Structure 1
Amino acid sequence: MLHHSARPTPPRRPTMVDVARRAGVSLKTVSRVVNNEPAVGPELVGRVLNAISELGFRRNDIARNLRSRRVSATIGLLIEEIANPFYAMIAGVAAEIAATHQTLLITASSEEDPDREHALLLEMAQRRVDGLLVVPAGMDHSFLRREVEMGMPVVFLDRPPEQLLADVVLLDNQGGSRAGIRSLLAAGHRRIGILLGSLSVYTMRERLAGAQAELAGAGVPYDEKLVRDGIEGPEHASRAVADMFELTDQPTAFFCTNNRITLGALQELHRRGSDAALVGFDDFELSHLMPRPLTVIAYDQRELARVATERLFQRIDGDRSWPSTTVLPTHLVQRGLC
């Protein structure tokens, strides 16, 4: 006699009815919260979100029944600092694309402060924006996980998030740095000063890693006396270059890891009348008019912003595919007046 063991019954997924019962609210209230409708008080929103978290309910479970996530016709953009032309360009392109979708862009600046980033992103989420574009400052974005699980589309650009799975649009930071260092090595330079921003920032770590890898591949020792990190702007970069010229074995070339550092290095080299070679990551306005030759590691800034913003609107319009990472290429460009 054959005995058939009973198949285990799969656990039942919680429904919106379960959420309403746990939160002590109506099903209509749960639906409004899930759909990011603004006409729900913060106290009720909190009760519904707590119930959703406790039950493990996922808004994506009903995504097939929702045509669009457009509720407020606004999206949020968080950048590092709006005064930097790089981020101003990103904001401009994002605003242009948002307008074609009849959507308003709200822009805020984190000033590279993780606490400020945390507060601003949660505030935007509470304002029921339809999605978020983020240039991250912090090292932990798990605080956005509940918002993402509730269906808030989030796309990161320039740097990836930490502790959160989301769409990302990046530059080939290591590849660009390797190409820049390779060009200096090909010109015969072996003493190359490296100027970095904060190593807590992903792009700085990646650009340093690319430089280190290229030097190692060429058999050139990595000399920490030729490296300065934590550089905050042009004036700080100028002082760092001046400091390296005090070394007994001076650098004959400099590698700058962002546009503001490059400007500071140019200022000091021009003051000294130095013909040291210079390679800088990021092109910048009027670079072709600099009074000396330099090489920039360039890329399509508008494409970075365009790809990220269009990806966000794909998500808002219902795309629920697995999060993707897009890496955009860089290339070397000769600038300055020869």
Structure 2
Amino acid sequence: MRDVAQLARVSAMTVSRVLKDDPGVSGATRKRVLTAVKELGYRRNETARSLRLGGSGMIGLVVTNLANPFYSRLALGVQEVAAEQGMRVLLSNTAEQTDRERDLVEDLASHRVEGMIVVPAGSRQEHLAQTMTSMPMVLAARPPAGIDTDCVLVDDFDGAREATAQLLADGHRDLGFLGNPPALYTGAERFRGFWAAHEELGLEPDEHRVRRGLVDIATAEAAAKDVLGGPSAPTALFCTNNRITQGAVRAVRRLGLQTALAGFDNFELADVLGLPLTIVSYDADEIGRQATRLLIDRIKNGTENQQPTRRVVVPTTVIRYGAL
């Protein structure tokens, strides 16, 4: 700033007033300062400025899999609310690795973010407790275990129960299940909803048609082919997330079947596949928005915010595509 002031033949204070759009600076002086700024390539250090004003103006967002469209939608929701509050978002991806999550959280803390939203990689989060002593943290999509903090969840159980109930109401009695790892909250809750829909009709799923621990489209496709290629193939499959549903769609197409599918998370082109498809939909952006509102509330109130931890649950809606 001193260099700009020297080139423009003004004081550093005048440079500061120009950069703040102070209407009291004359047009000629403003033009001279801005010309010097452009010539020198000067950029104000926003991080240092924010720290002087009492905070970095940044929040951290840690997700598990950026390849999954769910997390990009969640991130857009976070960014929307953060921008409304004049804050920026630093985004990191853990690839579902707890050790990497620990390192990324510590790195974000060292960059002086004012708080964090984390989609946990593991089933427990005691390793986040130390960071929470210096800043607020909100969990998204998975509830806290081993720590006490705000969280925003999807109604996983009821969504899975309702979609499975739709398949059963259509007359399907031989249902298969393709699920993500059971250690994950979403995997456990969606399996519980699948099972509950059967129990409500006095039925019990066949464990031979259940495949859990699937992590991507390829493993889901292989599992679907395995289940559908057996002697007692199910007439319908329930899938616990959009990538697993897409793997199942590939398997059904390649086997030349018309197996009915139900799955969590809507995805592009689901409505034009021509397959009987039941989707548990919800607003992933809203998860990000709600988590950011909770976080900013904690940031603004600081140590004075003594209210109990909060849990927000985003509702689901069942959508049906294709010939059912």
The question of 1:99 aligning with 2:83 is answered yes
Counterpart code for 1:141: Q
Q: 1:148 to 1:200 in 2, by over 3 A?
A: same
Could you tell me which of 80, 93, 96 is aligned with 1:112?
A: 96
Could you tell me which of 122, 126, 143 is aligned with 2:110?
A: 126
Query: Separation in 1 of the partners of 2:292 and 2:54?
Result: 15
What is aligned with 2:167? 184
Identity of aligned residues (%): 38
- 1:272-292 CA-to-partner distances (Å, cap 9, x unmatched) read 221211101111122222232
The question of 1:87 aligning with 2:67 is answered no
Could you tell me which of 208, 230, 249 is aligned with 2:232?
A: 249
The question of 1:334 aligning with 2:320 is answered yes
Counterpart code for 2:167: L
How much does 1:336 deviate?
4.4
Counterpart code for 1:79: V
Query: Separation in 2 of the partners of 1:188 and 1:162?
Result: 39
How much does 1:323 deviate?
0.8
Q: 1:268 to 1:70 in 2, by over 3 A?
A: farther
How much does 1:337 deviate?
7.5
How much does 1:246 deviate?
2.7
What is aligned with 2:151? 168
Matched residue count: 271
Contact 2:75 2:285 in 1 (8 A): no
The question of 1:321 aligning with 2:307 is answered yes
Could you tell me which of 251, 255, 261 is aligned with 2:244?
A: 261
How much does 1:92 deviate?
1.8
What is aligned with 1:271? 254
* TM-score scaled by length of structure 2: 0.80
Q: Determine helix, strand or coil for the equivalent of 1:317.
A: helix
What is aligned with 2:187? 204
Query: Separation in 2 of the partners of 1:132 and 1:145?
Result: 12
Query: Separation in 2 of the partners of 1:223 and 1:183?
Result: 18
Runs of 4+ in 1 over 4 A off after TM superposition: none
Query: Separation in 1 of the partners of 2:198 and 2:271?
Result: 28
What is aligned with 1:298? 281
Contact 1:94 1:306 in 2 (8 A): yes
Query: Separation in 2 of the partners of 1:149 and 1:235?
Result: 41
Query: Separation in 1 of the partners of 2:75 and 2:200?
Result: 38
Query: Separation in 2 of the partners of 1:247 and 1:180?
Result: 24
Could you tell me which of 149, 174, 178 is aligned with 2:133?
A: 149
How much does 1:327 deviate?
1.0
Contact 1:288 1:337 in 2 (8 A): no
Counterpart code for 2:261: L
* TM-score scaled by length of structure 1: 0.76
Could you tell me which of 213, 217, 220 is aligned with 1:237?
A: 220
Contiguous gaps of at least 5 residues in structure 2: 1-46
The question of 1:281 aligning with 2:294 is answered no
How much does 1:98 deviate?
1.4
How much does 1:188 deviate?
1.0
Contact 1:78 1:107 in 2 (8 A): yes
Query: Separation in 2 of the partners of 1:328 and 1:220?
Result: 29
Q: Give me the CA root mean square deviation.
A: 1.8
How much does 1:248 deviate?
1.8
How much does 1:293 deviate?
2.9
Query: Separation in 2 of the partners of 1:191 and 1:175?
Result: 21
